[in-house]
Amino acid sequence: MRYCYDMYSYLIFVHKDLTEEYFLQKAGVVDGYAKELFMRIYKSLMAESEDVSHLYETFYKTEYSSFPEFIEKYYYLDKKYVDEIMVYLGNNPQLKLYDYNSLSVGENFDDFICSETVYERFQQLLLMEK
């Protein structure tokens, strides 16, 4: 589940305990090009992504009266999406919301990780569901 708020910029859910080692192991890569590719994908997803809650608490808490208001106004999201995000976070305390810019590390894996054939699998990896 991702929420696009700008070109190549998304809010995504990620499990708090996700590590590169777990990501690679569950992706089933052992060595060679596949391992390198999935390491680059993980770094693309996590290296420059920001924990939205931390961003709010550290820099914007005085500007916005609540975390949901921050998400709505800072990221220009419709209230219905903010409500979805808050319900999902409330029901899944093991998850964090991250601000992800798919071009932040100079590579764009969007077409690959969001394709019909692998999108669900990447969601499972990020949420540590399998």
d(CA 52, CA 3): 13
Mean pLDDT of the chain: 88
Q: What is the pLDDT of residue 108?
A: 61
d(CA 50, CA 84): 20
Average pLDDT over residues 2-15: 90
Highest mean pLDDT among 86-90, 108-112, 121-125: 86-90
Report how many domains make up the chain. 1
Tell me: pLDDT of 130 over 80.
no
Domain that holds residue 28: 2-127
Closest CA to 27 of 127, 125, 128, 129: 125
Residue 9: C-alpha distances to residues 6, 74, 119, 127 (Å): 5, 13, 17, 19
Give percent of the chain above pLDDT 70.
Answer: 89
Q: In the sheet that 9-15 helps form, which strands lie side by side, from edge to edge?
A: 2-6, 9-15, 95-101, 50-51
d(CA 43, CA 90): 27
Highest mean pLDDT among 28-42, 58-72, 99-113: 58-72
123 vs 79, higher pLDDT? 79
